[in-house]
Amino acid sequence: MKITRINNTHFTSDFLSKFHEKTRNSADMTDTIVVPRTIFKGYLGIMGGTTLLTLGGILNKHAKTSKALSIAGLLTSMYGTFAFVRPFIIKDAKGVEKGK
């Protein structure tokens, strides 16, 4: 039997469509969460700052590079923290959703 003659597309598409029908949750398709842009920037800032701090710690043999990465990481994390909490502290800040 030659492998090139085996045709399993019918089985695969049939199996996947049945699997999709049984596992699909209609709420997953329509539910959305409104996240202010500043909170998203906050997540990015905190994650980026943590990455820069880690790189600064790994490269501690290179003093100037390590210090620069650590300072950049601290500043980025501080901005991320500010961007994350700003919508909760300043209710009328630009980018904060006012209605539901």
d(CA 9, CA 69): 52
The predicted-structure confidence for 27-56, as pLDDT tens digits, reads as follows: 555 556 666 777 888 899 999 999 999 999
Does the structure show a pLDDT above 70 at 61?
Answer: yes
Provide the pLDDT confidence category of residue 64 given band limits of 50, 70 and 90.
very high
Q: What is the pTM of this model?
A: 0.56
**What is the residue extent of each domain of the chain?**
29-89
**Mean pLDDT throughout 75-93?**
82
> How many helices, marked H, and strands, marked E, lie in the chain?
4, 0
C-alpha angle 40/86/95, rounded to 5°?
Answer: 60
- What pLDDT sits at residue 13? 63
